């Protein structure tokens, strides 16, 4: 099925551990992004990419790294997990020139708990 | 910087009635898109409706319609004949129209939790 696939769906980490949230899309979308969703704060942009090899910071990038070696994949790395990174994480993608026409395609989210 | 404000954290409506969710935004851009997304308990983000700023006609999708007031920077969502399945968090979102170096960044409001009562 075409769409955005996020893994894992749930994860519990200990403070200081590192991990990678995976995101893959099969729609040949140039634009990909990561958001975190926290109660009362909506979705906030962490990092985004406008194409392979190009990434940039969003609103809340601290503590996260990204890379975009292929069009399909956009992993999000937590270098040293902190309790403040407990959140639900969404990956989303769109065509670069028509994101406004069809909106984004979202993954199903990853619920991360840092203890 | 663009901002999106949803001033109603929670709302409730009876089944079959009509409810309006409010959204205001701030931007200096003249060309942009506005969206309403629905997030049911399943957590999936679902596009409900979109509006292009250069179009004066309000967008409509079945029971969902918007009241777009560009000068007032207001973008409210009206849900007619509310159904139990409409129970969800609703997010208003803004995107600058791509071109001229702009990106596809989608900026969200904080959401309105809508409960449809039987």
pLDDT digits (tens, 9 = 90+) for A24-79: 999 999 899 999 999 888 999 999 998 999 999 999 999 999 999 999 999 999 99
Those residues of chain A whose CB sits closer than 8 Å to some CB in chain B are 31, 33, 35, 40-45, 48, 50, 56, 58, 88, 90, 92, 94, 96-104, 106, 108-109
Contact A97 B98 (CB under 8 A): yes
pLDDT, residue A39, reads: 87
Calculate mean pLDDT across residues A78-95.
95
Give B32's contacts in chain A (Cβ within 8 Å): 100
Contacts of A35 in chain B (CB under 8 A): 108
Please say whether the dihedral angle defined by the alpha carbons of residues A59, A74, B35 and B85, taken in this order, is positive or negative: negative
Q: What residues 72-111 of chain B have any CB closer than 8 A to a CB of chain A?
A: 91, 95, 97-99, 103-111
Residue A13 has pLDDT above 90, yes or no: yes
pLDDT at A46: 96
B38 vs B55, residue with greater confidence: B38
Whether residue A8 has a cis bond before it, omega within 30° of 0: yes
Q: Which of A43, A56, A100 sits opposite B97 (nearest CB)?
A: A100
Chain A contact present for B2, CB below 8 A:
no
Tokens of A16: 């200081």
Closest-CA residue in chain B for A103? B47
More confident of the two residues B96 and A115 = A115
- Cα separation values, A27 from A92, B24, B72, B88, Å: 12, 32, 37, 27
Closest chain A C-alpha to B90 CA, distance in angstroms: 10
CB-based contacts of A70: which residues, under 8 Å, 6+ apart?
Answer: A52
């Amino acid at each position: 099925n075409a769409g955005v696939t996020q893994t894992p769906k749930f994860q519990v980490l200990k403070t200081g551990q590192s991990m990678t949230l995976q995101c893959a899309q099969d729609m040949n979308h140039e634009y990909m992004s990561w958001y975190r969703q926290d109660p009362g704060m909506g979705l906030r942009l962490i990092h985004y990419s406008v194409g392979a090899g190009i990434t940039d910071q969003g609103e809340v990038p601290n503590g996260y790294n990204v890379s975009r070696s292929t069009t399909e994949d956009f992993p999000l790395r937590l270098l040293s997990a902190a309790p403040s990174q407990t959140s639900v994480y969404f990956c989303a993608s769109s065509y670069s020139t028509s994101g406004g026409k069809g909106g984004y395609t979202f993954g199903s989210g990853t619920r991360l708990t840092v203890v | 910087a663009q901002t999106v404000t949803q001033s109603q954290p929670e709302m409730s409506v009876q089944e079959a009635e009509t409810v309006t969710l409010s959204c205001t935004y701030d931007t200096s851009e003249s060309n942009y898109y506005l969206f309403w997304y629905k997030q049911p308990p399943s957590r999936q983000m679902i596009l409900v409706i979109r509006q292009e700023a250069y179009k004066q006609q309000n967008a409509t999708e079945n029971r969902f319609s918007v009241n777009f007031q560009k000068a007032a920077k207001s973008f409210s969502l009206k849900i007619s004949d509310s159904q139990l399945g409409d129970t969800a968090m609703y997010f208003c979102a803004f995107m600058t129209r791509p071109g001229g170096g702009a990106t596809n960044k989608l900026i969200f409001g904080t959401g309105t939790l809508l409960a449809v009562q039987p």
